[in-house]
């Protein structure tokens, strides 16, 4: 046990903090107690729900090059509904006449996309399956139709402004910024 911190050696982590002071950099070493938060969950991301805590990890989808998301959005406008709907789709709790039940990998991908794209203040989307077994996030609000289609091989975005007939379509990777800007705008309408 280290007398200075009162922690056992395994519970200590040395964190290097760079502090810029008047154009100079000063590096300090501080002891941080992580014992209370160092809980590793054995549950998969789909068992935990939509987001992961800071102590859990979720693998990024390498084909998208997306970063690991470690945020808690449970107090957001959309989290409860989206999480519940994704679980319902996973468990095939609804009549899927004419639709394929989305594969677990597609549902996991949709969960990841929600964490990656949606901000806590964004409006709640409808979460429905497509005929092809994809997961669709759908908004019809303030004269706009927006869909994010999460499939096994591709994630696409489609937006349509009803008053002008203007629309755009493409991959989420290419159109993430305009999709997020539109969701930001819709959040206040």
In this structure, the dihedral spanned by the alpha carbons of residues 57, 151, 128 and 45, taken in order and rounded to 10 degrees, is -10
Give the integer Cα–Cα distance in Å for 31 and 7: 9
Mean pLDDT, the chain, whole residue set? 73
Domain ranges for the chain: 1-38, 52-187
> What pTM was computed for the model?
0.62
Tell me what pLDDT residue 161 has.
Answer: 97
The residue written with tokens 């989420």 in the block is: 172
- pLDDT value at 94 more than 80: no
- Residue 16 pLDDT class (50, 70, 90 cuts): very low
- DSSP one-letter code for 9: G
Q: How far apart are the first and last CA of the chain?
A: 56
Give the integer Cα–Cα distance in Å for 91 and 77: 23
Q: Which residues contact 171 (CB under 8 A, 6 or more apart)?
A: 154, 155, 156, 157
Element of type H or E holding 158: strand 155-161
Q: Which residues contact 154 (CB under 8 A, 6 or more apart)?
A: 171
140 closest CA partner among 122, 162, 172, 114: 162
| pLDDT 10s digits, 58-81 | 344 445 555 444 445 567 889 999
| pLDDT 10s digits, 22-55 | 333 443 333 433 333 333 334 444 444 444 433 3
Per 3-state DSSP, the chain is made up of helix, strand and coil in percentages (nearest 5) of 25, 25, 50
């Amino acid at each position: 046990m280290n007398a200075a911190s009162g922690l056992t050696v395994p519970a200590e982590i040395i964190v290097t903090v760079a502090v810029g002071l008047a154009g100079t950099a000063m590096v300090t070493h501080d002891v941080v107690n992580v014992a209370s938060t160092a809980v590793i969950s054995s549950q998969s991301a789909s068992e935990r729900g939509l987001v992961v805590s800071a102590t859990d990890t979720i693998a990024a989808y390498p084909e998208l090059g997306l970063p690991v998301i470690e945020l808690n959005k449970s107090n957001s406008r959309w989290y409860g509904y989206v999480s519940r709907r994704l679980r319902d789709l996973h468990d095939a709790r609804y009549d899927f006449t004419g639709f394929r039940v989305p594969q677990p990998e597609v549902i996991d991908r949709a969960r990841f996309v929600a964490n990656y794209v949606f901000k806590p203040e964004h409006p709640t989307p409808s979460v429905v399956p497509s005929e092809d077994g994809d997961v669709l996030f759908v908004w019809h609000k303030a004269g706009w139709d927006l869909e994010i289609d999460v499939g096994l091989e591709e994630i696409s975005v489609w937006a349509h402004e009803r008053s002008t007939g203007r629309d755009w379509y493409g991959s989420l990777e290419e159109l993430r910024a305009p999709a997020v800007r539109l969701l930001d705008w819709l959040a206040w309408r």
